[in-house]
């Protein structure tokens, strides 16, 4: 008589088929502490949602994150050895009346300045921006962005003509309106517009999100022929689960429509 493994027998009794073996080898690194570097840890304090940027020297990494879940002071740390060691934290922002998070990094055209666009999660103020002219050692005080850049998780790339294409989710603070609330949008302008607090050239809806503001957090790439390929998720079809779409465009097309 053929013996049936106990687990399989119990599955049969429960009316369930036993799980099939996992289809590929599994590798577990969780216990290999020699791979792990603690960047920041504070007893009793929620620390999460870090964003990192590797600078052009190939070894300097910047990271910023909030002290809290989408709120609290913005902490900045710097590593000059590829992430092996990290500086002490320099709080970038202390004001608890606004909740800054989800930074998006843009370098100035001359390479001398870094701008970081920040989501404002209390929904009482516009999105914010900070600047550094010493490779992230120190930062300016956060200030509000124009209404045309209100939103979450800004991702920007330069085009060959020097303009910036910044894609994000459109969200306005309470008491303000935006033409494309909760949708996937983009902003086109120049770095000088960011530096001077100007509204930019134009604001465009990329796709209509049909459920609240559950969309975006986009990736943005620029092909050699200046085609923009931006990709993200959203509820693009009413009453269906969110799915991922790429939108392709050139600024020449937008320029023609903006005239």
Q: Which domain holds residue 184?
A: 146-259
- Rounded to 5 degrees, φ, ψ at 229 are -120, 110
Average of per-residue pLDDT across 101-106 = 89
Higher pLDDT, 252 or 36: 252
* Residue 232 · residue 216 · CB < 8 Å: yes
Q: Which helix (H) or strand (E) holds 256?
A: helix 251-258
244 lies in a domain?
A: yes
| Total domains, the chain | 1
Residue 253 lies in a domain: yes
pLDDT digits (tens, 9 = 90+) for 187-206: 999 999 999 999 999 999 99
Does some domain include residue 4? no
Residue that wins the pLDDT comparison between 141 and 19: 141
Mean pLDDT value across residues 142-171: 95
Q: How far apart are CA 181 and CA 86, in angstroms?
A: 39
Evaluate whether residue 204 is within a structural domain: yes
**Inside any domain, residue 39:** no
Of these ranges, 39-53, 73-87, 181-195, the one predicted with the greatest mean pLDDT is 181-195
Taking CB atoms within 8 Å and a gap of at least 24, the contacts of 75-78 are: 75/40, 75/47, 76/136, 76/139, 77/39, 77/40, 78/136, 78/137
Residue partners of 170: CB distance under 8 A and separation at least 6? 150, 151, 178, 180, 181, 182, 183, 184, 185, 205
**Is residue 164 included in any domain, yes or no?**
yes
């Amino acid at each position: 008589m053929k013996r049936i493994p106990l687990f399989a027998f119990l599955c049969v009794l429960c009316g369930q088929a036993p799980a099939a073996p996992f289809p590929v080898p599994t590798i577990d690194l969780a216990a290999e502490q020699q791979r792990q570097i603690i960047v920041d840890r504070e007893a009793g304090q929620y620390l999460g949602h870090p964003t990192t940027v590797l600078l052009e020297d190939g070894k300097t990494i910047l990271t910023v994150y909030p002290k809290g879940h989408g709120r609290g002071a913005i902490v900045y740390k710097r590593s000059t050895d590829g992430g092996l060691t990290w500086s002490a934290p320099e709080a970038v922002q202390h004001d608890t009346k606004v909740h800054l998070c989800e930074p998006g990094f843009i370098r100035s055209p001359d390479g001398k300045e870094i701008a970081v666009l920040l989501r404002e999660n209390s929904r009482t103020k516009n999105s914010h921006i900070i600047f550094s002219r010493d490779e992230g050692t120190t930062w300016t005080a956060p200030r509000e962005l124009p209404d045309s850049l209100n939103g979450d998780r800004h991702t920007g790339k330069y085009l060959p003509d020097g303009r910036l294409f910044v894609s994000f989710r459109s969200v306005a603070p309470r008491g303000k309106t935006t033409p494309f609330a909760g949708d996937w949008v983009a902003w086109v302008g120049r770095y000088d517009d960011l530096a001077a607090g100007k509204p930019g050239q134009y604001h465009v809806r990329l796709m209509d999100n049909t459920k609240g503001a559950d969309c975006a957090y986009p990736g943005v790439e620029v092909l050699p022929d200046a085609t923009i390929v931006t990709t993200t998720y959203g509820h693009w079809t009413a009453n269906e689960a969110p799915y991922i779409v790429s939108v392709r465009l050139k600024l020449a097309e937008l320029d023609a429509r903006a005239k």
